[in-house]
Structure 1
Amino acid sequence: MSSTVPAIDASELAATQTAGYKVGAEISLAELAELDKEDESLAKWKASLGLDANAVASGSTAGPKVEMISLTLTSNRPAGPIVLDLKDPKQLASAAPVVIKEGSEYTVEIKFLVKSLVAGLKYIHVVKRMGLSDKLEHMIGSRGPSLDHVVAKLPTEEAPSGMLARGKYVVRSRVIDDDGAVYLDATWQFELKKDW
């Protein structure tokens, strides 16, 4: 593979859209908590999203609704999980590639903090090598504000194996919501090797 990193265009990271979906008007957590207070089933649904008095108090109106913390690759790696710090995604592009053993099973976990109600949060990534690309889109779901970190665990995957699969790959990861707000847009690399 050449020393240049293949670019991953933003259009390759486009999320699947639901036909007919229209973004609703933005309302505050306090207004949302007060809506239909007498409806018991709606109250249970709001509680499942964390929309109670504590959520209204902890909900932040400043900054992004979601703060990305880390992306973790968990596998049978002897040295333990690989943790990528997402607080400064620009530094990931220049960081040394993460080493992944060919044929190993791994799980991606994304840790984040929800500061305000967010609907339809999705993780999308495109992996590229020598002109070939693979796209993954995973629905994280809707979340209410919380002071606790949230960890979204993606399905376990198996790294490719064989001599032709070995080499450097570029990954562009993105976290967006149904409103189109982007909370993470980071490029990073991994290298598939025969061993850790």
Structure 2
Amino acid sequence: MGFDDKGKEGAAPDAPETHHEGSGDERGTALSRHMSEGSIPAPTEDEEEDVERKIDLGPQCTLKEQLEKDKDDESLRRWKEQLLGSVDINAVGESLEPEVKILSLAIKAAGREDIVLPIPESGNPEGLWFTLKEGSRYSLMFTFQVSHNIVSGLKYTNTVWKTGLKVDSTKEMIGTFSPQAEPYTHEMPEETTPSGLFARGTYSARSKFVDDDNKLYLEINYTFDIKKDWL
């Protein structure tokens, strides 16, 4: 969803100076229109650009192998222990692939109860998923769980259309997370819905959660309304 500029929480601790890796936030905005209720246009070249630009991060390692690497480097050892926290290495250390499960999305607006949106088993909600009030301030919060291995560079992307035109495109770097039993949460920066006669109506959107390897953990196609007031 995202209708203005985007910031974040809950990522892994920064690596020590001896550990050189590239990182950074990627963000973008715009505002879009929808073909017909429930229709999701095919991905555009801009939307597919990230998928094609895959970064080579080298061979994957289990958590046990990660801890064995550079074990004589005290600074790196402490950073890895801080990243992993209380992870039970014996339980998850043999898995190469991380697993991320998006549990729910919540829309938070001042003075109102959160609108909690559970993720359907199919990944695609049927019918209208939610309604936003025009000109209102709100933020989006994700709840997700990480298991098996460390997920690196988890990223959220969202594209919105109205009457067939792309009106919004958002990218949010969420961060790197170690596996743990307790879910993580990440709240997006506050945004403002557009207002006015032409802003009201039904929108279609596509949200994705991917990591640095472009592994797709969830894709949601849905529709939502912007109206004069909340339902």
TM-score normalized with structure 1 length: 0.86
More deviation in 38-47 or 100-109?
Answer: 38-47
Unaligned residue ranges in structure 1 (runs of 5+)? none
Aligned: 1:97 with 2:113: no
Confirm or deny that 1:83 pairs with 2:116. Answer: yes
How many angstroms does 1:44 deviate by?
2.7
**SS at the partner of 1:54?**
coil
Contact 1:101 1:159 (8 Å CA) reproduced: yes
Cα distance, 1:163–1:48 mapped onto 2, change above 3 Å:
farther
Matched with 1:149 is: 183
**2:40 is paired with a residue of what secondary structure?**
coil
* Partner of residue 38, structure 1: 72
The question of 1:14 aligning with 2:55 is answered: no
Cα offsets for 1:38-79 (capped at 9, x unmatched): 3222123213321x573423437398611110111111363x
Corresponding letter in the other structure for 1:107: S
Aligned residue number for residue 172 of structure 2: 138
Query: 1: distance between equivalents of 2:135 and 2:90?
Result: 47
Are 2:229 and 1:191 aligned? no
Say which structure, 1 or 2, has more relative contact order (CA 8 Å, 6+ apart).
2
Letter of the aligned partner of 2:118 in structure 1? D
Higher strand fraction: Structure 1 or Structure 2?
A: 1
Of 63-72 and 110-119, more deviation after overlay is shown by 63-72
How many pairs were matched up? 193
**Structure 2 residue ranges without an equivalent (≥5):** 1-33
Q: 1:27 aligns with which of 51, 61, 83?
A: 61
Counterpart among 81, 101, 117 of residue 67 in structure 1: 101
Amino acid at match of 2:100: V
Q: Which amino acid aligns with 1:114?
A: V
Distance 1:171 1:39, change over 3 A: same
Q: What is the TM-score when the length of structure 2 is the normalising length?
A: 0.74
Equivalent residue for 1:173?
207
**Percent identity (aligned):** 32
Q: How does 1:114-129 map to 2 (within 5 A)?
A: 114-115=146-147, 116-129=149-162
Distance 1:15 1:45, change over 3 A: farther
Aligned counterparts of 1:13 and 1:4: Cα–Cα separation in 2 = 21
Q: Equivalent residue of 1:47, what SS?
A: helix
Q: Is the 8 A contact 1:166 1:192 kept in 2?
A: yes
Report the Cα distance in structure 2 between the residues aligned to 1:62 and 1:41, rounded to whole angstroms.
24
SS of the residue 1:179 aligns to: coil
For residues 61 and 82 of structure 2, the distance between their equivalents in structure 1, rounded to whole angstroms, comes to 18
